[in-house]
Amino acid sequence: MTVPRPFFHLIALFLLLLASLADGPAKAAPEEVSEPFAISVLEPSDIELYQKIFAAQTRADWAEADRLIRRLKDRILLGHVLYERYMHPNAYRSSYAELARWMKNYADQPGAERLYRLAAKRRPKGHAAPRLPVPTRKQQPPAPQEQLSKKELELRRARYQAQTAIAQHLKQAQPELAEKRLWAANERALFEKENFTTLLSRIAASYFHAGNDAKALSLATLSAAGEGSGRFAGNWVGGLAAWRQGNCALSAGHFERATVAASERPWDASAAAFWAARARLACRQPEAVARLLDRAAYNNRTFYGMIAARQLGRDIVFSWEHPPFPWKDYRTISDLPGVRRAVALSQVSRIDWADVELRYVWQRSEDDRHQAILGLASRLNLPSTQVRAAKLMERREMTMVDSALYPVPDFTPTGGYSIDRAVIFAFMRQESEFNTLAVSSAGARGLMQLMPATASFIGRDRSLKSPTSTKLNDPTLNIALGQRYIEHLLEDRNMKGNLLLTAAAYNGGPGNVNRWLQRGNFSDDPFLFIESIPLEETRLYVTRVLTNLWAYRMRMGQPTPELDALAQGQWPVYKPLDDKKS
């Protein structure tokens, strides 16, 4: 269904009568961190020595590094120094004795799993096996084994085979075959009602993304009447299919029921309420629009919630104060080896490894130490630990620590920033959660999760294609290449600076985006374009990146033109706002 541009002017005029005058985007709070006590492990002389040691090893000057190591007073970071040496891709060939000795002394440190695998490969016959790495997470007791009858085992095997076949058909965009397999499985009573409803909704979604709205609506209606998560998904797909068919009343009904079904899931609830408001507006029922937008805006940290809040003229308020970190909190964790190494690494400007160290401490610690670890991560400005810890605390304790959820890392790309930092951080947060060592199952690497082939193309460096290259672990290079790739996409003749399309292309590939644009079943509607993307990962990615962008704009005290554009039903076009002189 096409919503004409005058409708967006109508909603703006209508909501101005209902909402008080907006104060504009939230302003950034002063980012002052009170420091009642100093955090230090290394003396100034050792800080300088470690920096020179790491620099010497970067040049593969092992003799100079060894000379400097002998002058150290505190060897707390020797494990990291030796790890970089032993794992060097081409300038150092480590012996089994060196690797085994490292595992004996540093098995709890980051990189132990990788070094252990190398040690196992190089272990000579007759030599004792190296020490195993210390697990990076608290170990859970194994789940008790179920005693199943032969009949139950056969049922589970048949169910698994059916689920696998259906998933494969959906992956290959073959909803007809997936549906046929589901009904055959249903005749054999392989699935419980909730599982059946969920699978039905997924097949309905596949029909919708294939452009078959009638079939999508038919199956979605069946799913919406079922049980479990399929009830929300069925109503959601039914609402989208009815919208594209031009049936605003049917669409609104589905979206309103989806809002109720997703009441405990903020992102889904705000999305359904927002689309219900759109459908009611299309049906010229303005009395329902404000109520539904109000429901969407209740979750104003979500994509659709932020847009609804902006349409209602409401401020989106964040608190950028850092979490408290009193001395007593530091005292509870200061004796942990990983904490001391993290502090020392931050002192020598190795933020990447400091972040990994403290993340391991978090994963291995009991819950009563987590608040203190988050406070230290904030004090040291370790972005990856901050995001992961803050997300867990948000889910577990319903506590929002905005400064940790949206940290501002101290990374600087080679050559500096040529795109607004808010944009780069928005992508980085979604790609890797600021983990410099992140490697995806597909092989994407580093902060910006660059595929080696893409990095090689953008950087004009064939060595980046090598599977053994660790260059993309370097934050300065990784961000520089990721930034250049975003610029490349923004300048594409089909993207034309459109940030929504650029985000979709960064995740799903520019070729896919061009095909989705050519399909043209979204009526120049940015919201329908998002929901029509056939790749679930890319649909979610686009909304998360844009939400991140708006949060970072607000943290930096900037306006949010991309949010304003979408609130008016327009495509968000990138407008640089950073002061390049600063």
**64-73 confidence digits (pLDDT tens):** 999 999 999 9
- 430, 387 in Cβ contact below 8 A? no
Which spans in 437-560 are helix H? 452-459, 475-490, 499-508, 510-519, 526-532, 536-555
Nearest alpha-carbon partner for 62 in 99, 91, 105: 91
> 55-114: per-residue pLDDT in tens?
999 999 999 999 999 999 999 999 999 999 999 988 999 999 999 999 999 999 999 999
> 363-401: per-residue pLDDT in tens?
999 888 999 999 999 999 999 999 999 999 888 877 889
**pLDDT value of position 100:** 98
The residues, any chain, with a CB within 8 Å of residue 2's CB and separated by 6 or more, are 523, 524, 525
The residues, any chain, with a CB within 8 Å of residue 367's CB and separated by 6 or more, are none
Q: Which two tokens stand for residue 227?
A: 């049980």
DSSP β-bridge partners for residue 573 = 498
pLDDT over threshold 90, residue 420: yes
* CA dist., res. 185 & res. 360, Å (int): 44
DSSP β-bridge partners for residue 498 = 573
Lowest mean pLDDT among 146-160, 250-264, 324-338: 146-160
> 107-128: per-residue pLDDT in tens?
999 999 999 999 999 999 999 9
CB-side neighbour CA atoms (13 Å) of 93: 1
**pLDDT value of position 520:** 80
Confidence band for 16, pLDDT divided at 50, 70 and 90: very low
**pLDDT value of position 409:** 96
**How many other CB atoms are there within 10 angstroms of residue 484's CB atom?**
18
Which spans in 283-336 are helix H? 286-297, 303-311, 327-333
- 241, 225 in Cβ contact below 8 A? no
Q: Which two tokens stand for residue 421?
A: 């930092």
**pLDDT value of position 384:** 96
| Sign for the pseudo-dihedral over CA of 540, 353, 475, 555 | positive
Residue 194 is a catalytic residue: no
Distances (CA, A) of 410 to 110, 349, 416, 476: 21, 10, 12, 11
**pLDDT value of position 581:** 43
* CA dist., res. 163 & res. 248, Å (int): 34
Confidence band for 140, pLDDT divided at 50, 70 and 90: low
**pLDDT value of position 555:** 98
- 528, 522 in Cβ contact below 8 A? yes
The percent of residues in the chain predicted with pLDDT above 90, rounded, is: 82
Q: Which two tokens stand for residue 257?
A: 């029921």
Confidence band for 570, pLDDT divided at 50, 70 and 90: very high
**pLDDT value of position 300:** 95
**pLDDT value of position 29:** 39
Confidence band for 24, pLDDT divided at 50, 70 and 90: very low
Single-letter code of the amino acid located at 121:
K
Based on its alpha-carbon atoms, the radius of gyration of the chain, rounded to whole angstroms, reads 27
379-415 core/surface letters (b: 16 or more CB in 10 A; e: else): bbbbbbbbbbbbeebeeeeeeebbbbbbbbbebebee
84, 179, 431, 531: which one is catalytic? 431
* CA dist., res. 458 & res. 440, Å (int): 19
The percent of residues in the chain predicted with pLDDT above 70, rounded, is: 92
- Work out the average pLDDT over 220-236: 93
> 502-557: per-residue pLDDT in tens?
999 999 999 999 999 998 888 899 999 999 999 999 999 999 999 999 999 999 99
Confidence band for 142, pLDDT divided at 50, 70 and 90: low
pLDDT over threshold 60, residue 25: no
pLDDT over threshold 60, residue 4: no
Confidence band for 36, pLDDT divided at 50, 70 and 90: low
Q: What SS3 state is found at 363?
A: helix
Pick from 7-21, 123-137, 292-306, 395-409 the range whose average pLDDT is largest: 292-306
- Work out the average pLDDT over 146-172: 91
> 229-285: per-residue pLDDT in tens?
889 999 999 999 999 999 999 999 999 999 999 999 999 999 999 999 999 999 999
The residues, any chain, with a CB within 8 Å of residue 52's CB and separated by 6 or more, are 68
Distances (CA, A) of 538 to 170, 272, 509, 544: 16, 19, 9, 10
Computed over every residue of the chain, the mean pLDDT equals: 92
Distances (CA, A) of 558 to 309, 416, 466, 488: 17, 20, 40, 24
**pLDDT value of position 399:** 82
**pLDDT value of position 65:** 98
Q: Which two tokens stand for residue 130?
A: 């190296």
- 235, 224 in Cβ contact below 8 A? yes
